[in-house]
Amino acid sequence: MKLVVCYLAPSKAPGVKKGLWDAGFRAFSLSQAEGVGMRRGSLEGGVDHVAAVTPKVRLEVACRDSEAEAVVAAVVGEARTGRVGDGKILILDLPDAVRVRTGERGEAAL
């Protein structure tokens, strides 16, 4: 199983949600986040510092290994503008999952 974690511009969230839904992914989490990307840091007086944080949304999708690339394609298809700040996608191994209501584990819990 995989956990796909995406950091995206808040304005892209509605399109990404629709893109995931249309691709058949009906279970995901979306939350507000703030962050600093490579473009936001600067060097002043020889010391790195953070200029400002940028609002982002954090999207998490737990899926089967075979579905991870489809999740990525759906997100990129809706979020990419080709400009700095489009976001980042992290794909992590997910060793286990548990559905609290039934106790199902692994892919059955997804």
Q: Which pLDDT belongs to residue 39?
A: 60
Q: Which pLDDT belongs to residue 35?
A: 84
Q: How confident is the model at residue 105 (pLDDT cuts 50, 70, 90)?
A: very high
* All structural domains of the chain with their residue ranges: 2-109
Predicted confidence (pLDDT) per residue in 15-45, tens digit = 999 999 999 999 999 999 998 776 655 555 5
Name the pTM for this structure. 0.86
Predicted confidence (pLDDT) per residue in 42-78, tens digit = 555 555 565 677 899 999 999 999 999 999 999 999 9
> How far apart, in whole angstroms, are the C-alpha atoms of residue 80 and residue 34?
19
The SS3 of residue 9 is: coil
β-partners of residue 43 are 48
> How far apart, in whole angstroms, are the C-alpha atoms of residue 62 and residue 45?
44
CATH class of 2-109: alpha beta
Q: Which pLDDT belongs to residue 31?
A: 97
